[in-house]
Amino acid sequence: MTLKIITAIFLLLALPFLTVAREIKTKAELDSAIILIGDQVKLNIEIEFPDDVEIFFPVPSDSLGEHVEIVERKTIDSIQLDKNRLKMMQSFIVTSFDTGHHTIDPFYFEFSVNGMTDSVPTNPTTLHVFTLPKLDSLMNAMQGLIDIKKPYEAPITFKEVAPWLFGILLGAGLIFLIIYAINRRKNNKPIFSFPQKPKEPAHIIALRELDQIKKQKLWQQGKVKEFYSEVTDATREYIGNRFGIMAMELTTDEIIRKINEQKGLLDDKSFEYLKQMLSSADLVKFAKFTPQAEDNELLLVNAYFLVNQTKIEVQNQEEEEQNEEEEGEDVILK
């Protein structure tokens, strides 16, 4: 009887832990499973988990088995999937100097819930390493007589196939437009529609949200993580409305890369402020970093500066109404 009671108590305590374990998803994947000897390839590992679970990333040694070596370790990145789930990722540059089929063992992520600790593995991966085919053929040929190669035809040039290629693309485009127009007409929608101008400028929306966050005094109440999340969410939304970059769906590194690709999008000072804001928020949200009061105030000041520095002054009300009248409405072709 006592054994049954102990077993029941253990199951009741372990049930939440087992439920959380089923919600954790891991994956390991090579960018390419086939390489030549000495080439390098990226190995990606990732984990999805509820945000109330503490995750400990694996720290592998410089060798993944006997034949695969780690050349470079990338920093751990993270992304908020929804309100309750996070996704963390890390990449490794690996290589091998031995031909063959080399299995890379699973990576184990440790996690902790309610004081209980366990681990979940990724899937194993296999790296296939080959030598240079041309080098093998030459070495084999040197061992015996080399046959005279048959004459071969000259390769076809782009100039010869260009007319056919353009004709095929043009025909495919026309077929697509016809099908698209038929579907739009069946659904009683205009063939061509144009997005309406936003009712409010991006900076007006952003400043209103920042004012609201300032009034809430979240970090003064100990809600530091919520404060950083709301400030960076308002900033990401502003970047999307102002510059057309879907920042809400991107990680910090992806946002910075997108802005770098568009030269002149931000001045140097605004760009540095943005990087500092997003990096600080990642540390607070995902690395459990505790900022000082001056850091909290500086985050909000930087957000205001970024919006005011990059905002576009709008036209007056009469000019806006006149422009809207000139734009006209969508036309349905029948």
Q: Give the SS3 label for residue 87.
A: strand
In the chain, list all ranges with CATH 2.60.40.680. Answer: 23-132
pTM for the full model? 0.38
What's domain 23-132's architecture? Answer: Sandwich (2.60)
- The DSSP string of 104-130 is EPPPEEEEEETTEEEEEE---EEEEEE
Written as tens digits, the pLDDT of the chain (334 aa) is 566 555 545 444 555 555 666 778 899 999 988 888 889 999 999 998 888 888 889 999 888 888 899 999 999 998 888 888 888 899 999 999 988 899 999 999 888 877 778 888 999 999 998 887 645 555 565 555 556 666 666 677 877 778 888 889 888 988 988 888 888 777 776 776 665 555 688 888 888 888 998 898 888 888 888 888 888 888 888 888 888 888 888 888 888 888 888 877 888 888 888 888 888 888 888 877 888 888 888 888 888 888 888 888 655 444 444 554 444 444 333 3
Element (H, E) at 250: none
**CA–CA dist 106, 104 (Å, integer):** 7
Rounded to the nearest 5 degrees, what angle is found at the Cα of 157, between the Cα atoms of 154 and 162? 150
Q: What is the DSSP letter of 63?
A: B
As beta bridge partners, residue 62 has none
